[in-house]
Structure 1
Amino acid sequence: MPRSNIARRYAQGIFQLAEAQHDLDGWRRELAQLDALLQDDVLRAAFANPAVTTPRRMELAQR
């Protein structure tokens, strides 16, 4: 499955969840914050590396 199809499915799922929670603005803020975090090359590489554990990723994101 092409990446664009996968991304579209995730986007639709997030949108449906945000609508169900009546919190589109909250989700928009969270996703904007995630986008800002992923502008950092080191953090983006850590999130893409399957060897980096979830607790370590969370630790890096909180810096």
Structure 2
Amino acid sequence: KQATAMVRELIMHNELQSAKPSAHVPQNRKTKLCENYAKGTCTFGDRCNFAHGANELREQPAGS
């Protein structure tokens, strides 16, 4: 299960990186908590597209 969650996060991260120019930040970045961070298994650190705590959470953009 843990490996599956890590692979899923890696795939999502890679898709976001390849679909967008590197200078562009996804609109939905940090709008959901990182499940892997909560388990202590997130490998992306500051580059993670998910929030690593309530203090990082942002509101979902309108129309998303």
TM-score over 0.5 for the pair: no
* TM-score computed with the length of structure 2 as normaliser: 0.38
More helix per residue: 1
> Which structure has more RCO (C-alpha within 8 Å, separation ≥ 6)?
2
* TM-score computed with the length of structure 1 as normaliser: 0.38
Highest CA radius of gyration, 1 or 2?
1
